[in-house]
Amino acid sequence: MAKQKPTVPKGTRDFGPEQMAKRTYILDTIKSVYKKYGFQNLETPTMENLSVLTGKYGDEGDQLLFKVVNSGDYLKKVKQEDFEQGAKHMLPKISEKGLRYDLTVPFARYVVMNHGNLSFPFKRYQVQPVWRADRPQRGRYREFYQCDADVVGTDSLLCEAEILAMMGEALTNLKVTDHTIKLNNRKVLTGIAEAIGENGKESELCVAIDKLDKIGVEKVNLELTEQRGFTQEAVDQLAPIYEMSGTTEERIAKMKDFLASSEVGLKGLEELEEVFNYTSKLGVNTDKVEFDVTLARGLSYYTGAIFEVKVNNANMGSISGGGRYDNLTGVFGLEGMSGVGFSFGVDRIYDVLEELDLYPESAIETTKVMLTNFDNAGRDYSLPLLQQLRNAGISAELYPDNAKMKKQMNFANRKNIQYVVLAWEDEMSQGKYSLKNMETGEQEMLSGSEIVEKLRN
């Protein structure tokens, strides 16, 4: 009976053994940095009440939420007139839960629910999948992992400095050395709007400037004048912003002139200086950190620092980003909870490491050694060694069926197993085994304990 081959839902993926090994390498590397800086792990449920999710991501976000049908008779609250009013009207009556859309809103919900029991400042990291009913395309999935770290309950700029250190350390550990960490401050953007006489229009300015990399200066300027109501005079004054160059100190000095008339702008520069002051006292190398006055990031909830990381020698957008927000939990009625956080894009980092061939051998290592199984005598002879290897902490397996040499060698090769143990009559008569290195092809006859000793190192 031929059946149709099963499939996975559009925009979702299986991660087989090799992909999982590589993903685990990336996530473990990042998590170990988070932990070293005092961050603690949090996991929240896959499903959240829609009352928690809805209205947090804009109208478009609400539409991209995956909603879960209520259990049991999900139509019991639906009347004929509800049905007639259509899908959007009926939805709240048949669905109360949705899938997590990001890790920030569940984190805010967790902080509000556990406010009395948490010690602040609370440093948490969270590595879980999120779901968005986006149109799937290359590099954009409906299920993907986020990898967040946030500190809430303090406005100390030491946190910003530590984030710069963590970004650099994680990427260095992943051998992504040719990267740039861009840093800006939302207050500087506000100051720019003030300085060019367009007070209060920093959001419009940010949205346009955010496209600078993609569409270029001229089109950004056109967008500002034609769509966002900026005067030509104001836009003309932006030239030094677009042309900013020099060291961080030089850029800050130039911006102090530019923002001389803007209190908030100067405050932003002061914060930036304090962040650099902290990194310097910590002894963190900031060679790869660049004060980019045009860095805006579309998100309107940032109030202080803004971060973004790019890999210079890979064909990829930003692989990490974040910033400071003054009011994480206000939407749930808890005011004044300032925080700063950032996230690594795991899927993008995965692709970068593929492109630059940066996975270490150890990341894709599977079983260290396979024991062959040509006949029952050889198999029985090898079984004690199998468990001795494991007892020594060495991952080992015995091919479970009698099979031909070629089949077993192919198996070992495809599974990327480093060593193979063979036991023919010759070996058995000497109380030894042949150990074959699958990379070099070298083969030597050794006792069981010699093999254990050799593979342990």
Annotated binding site for L-histidine: 102-104, 132, 146, 150, 297, 301-302
Measured over the CA atoms of residue 57, residue 62, residue 67 and residue 73, the dihedral's sign is positive
Show Cβ contacts of residue 176 under 8 Å, excluding neighbours closer than 6 positions. Answer: 311, 319, 349, 352, 353, 356, 358
Q: How many of the other CB atoms lie within 10 Å of CB of 270?
A: 15
Pick the binder of a copy of itself from 276, 278, 344, 359 (CB under 8 A).
Answer: 278
Binding segment for a copy of itself among 209-217, 226-234, 275-283, 429-437 (CB under 8 A)?
275-283
What is the C-alpha to C-alpha distance for residues 312 and 214, in angstroms, rounded to an integer?
Answer: 16
Options 27, 56, 62, 68; binder of a copy of itself; rule CB under 8 A = 68
Q: 331-360: which residues touch a copy of itself (CB under 8 A)?
A: 332-333
Nearest-approach distance from CB 241 to a copy of itself, in angstroms = 31
Residue 406 beta carbon to a copy of itself: minimum distance, rounded to whole angstroms: 13
User: How many Å apart are CA 61 and CA 54, to the nearest integer?
Assistant: 8
| Of 349, 270, 281, the residue nearest 305 (C-alpha) | 270
**Cα separation, 151 vs 34, whole angstroms:** 11
Does position 406 bind a copy of itself by CB under 8 A?
A: no
- 400 lies in the site for a copy of itself, by CB under 8 A: yes
If binding is defined by CB under 8 A, does position 76 make contact with a copy of itself?
Answer: yes
47 binds a copy of itself (CB under 8 A): yes
**Residue reference for tokens 């899938």:** 99
Cβ contacts of 165 within 8 Å, gap of 6 or more: 37, 279, 282, 284
- Annotate each residue in 201-240 with x if it binds a copy of itself (CB under 8 A) or - if it does not, as one string: ----------------------------------------
* Closest distance of CB 266 from a copy of itself, Å: 21
* Least distance CB 288 / a copy of itself (angstroms): 16
Q: Which residues touch 350 (CB under 8 Å, ≥6 apart)?
A: 19, 22, 23, 26
Q: Which is nearer to a copy of itself, 186 or 379 (CB)?
A: 379
Instruction: Please enumerate, by residue number, every residue annotated as part of a binding site.
Output: 102-104, 132, 146, 150, 297, 301-302
Strands ordered across the beta sheet of 419-422: 396-398, 369-371, 419-422, 433-437, 443-446
- Footprint (CB under 8 A) of a copy of itself, residues 408-437: 410-411, 414-415
Q: How far is the CB of 326 from a copy of itself (least distance, A)?
A: 16
Tokens coding 120: 């602040």
**For residue 95, what is the enclosing H or E element?**
strand 95-99
Using the minimum distance from each CB to a copy of itself, give the nearer residue, 126 or 221. Answer: 126
- Residue from the set 27, 207, 266, 282 that interacts with a copy of itself by CB under 8 A: 282
Binding residue for a copy of itself (CB under 8 A) from 49, 173, 231, 313? 49
**Subset of residues 1 to 30 that bind a copy of itself, contact rule: CB under 8 A:** 1-9, 12-17, 20-21, 24
Which of 370, 354, 352, 357 is closest to 409 using CA atoms? 370
Closest to a copy of itself by CB, 8 vs 218, is 8
Interface map 88-127 toward a copy of itself (x if CB under 8 A): --xx--xxxx-x---------xx-xxx----x-x-xx---
374 interacts with a copy of itself by CB under 8 A: no
Q: Tell whether residue 283 is a contact of a copy of itself (CB under 8 A).
A: yes
Taking the complex as a whole, the smallest distance from the CB of residue 168 to a copy of itself amounts, in Å, to: 11
Contacts of 260 (CB under 8 A, 6+ apart): 195, 266
Nearest to 301 by CA among 341, 267, 270: 341
Window 288 to 327, contacts with a copy of itself (CB under 8 A): none
CA–CA dist 191, 186 (Å, integer) = 9
Buried b (16+ CB within 10 A) or exposed e, 79-115: eeebeeeeeeebeebbbbbbbbbbbbbbbbbbbbeee
Nearer to a copy of itself, 131 or 258 (CB): 131
Please say which residue, 125 or 230, places its beta carbon nearer to a copy of itself: 125
The alpha-helical segments, DSSP class H, found in 371-445 are: 376-391, 405-414, 425-429
- Cα dihedral 153, 157, 158, 161, rounded to 10, equals 120
> Which one among 25, 67, 323, 325 touches a copy of itself, defined by CB under 8 A?
67
CB nearer a copy of itself, residue 192 or residue 455 = 455
252 binds a copy of itself (CB under 8 A): no
Question: Minimum distance between the CB of residue 315 and a copy of itself, rounded to whole angstroms?
Answer: 26
The dihedral built from the CA positions of residue 440, 444, 449 and 453, taken in this order, carries a sign that is negative
404 touches a copy of itself (CB under 8 A) = no
Q: How many chain residues interact with a copy of itself (CB under 8 A)?
A: 105
Q: Does 46 contact a copy of itself by CB under 8 A?
A: yes
Give the integer Cα–Cα distance in Å for 67 and 330: 24
Q: Does 52 bind a copy of itself (CB under 8 A)?
A: yes
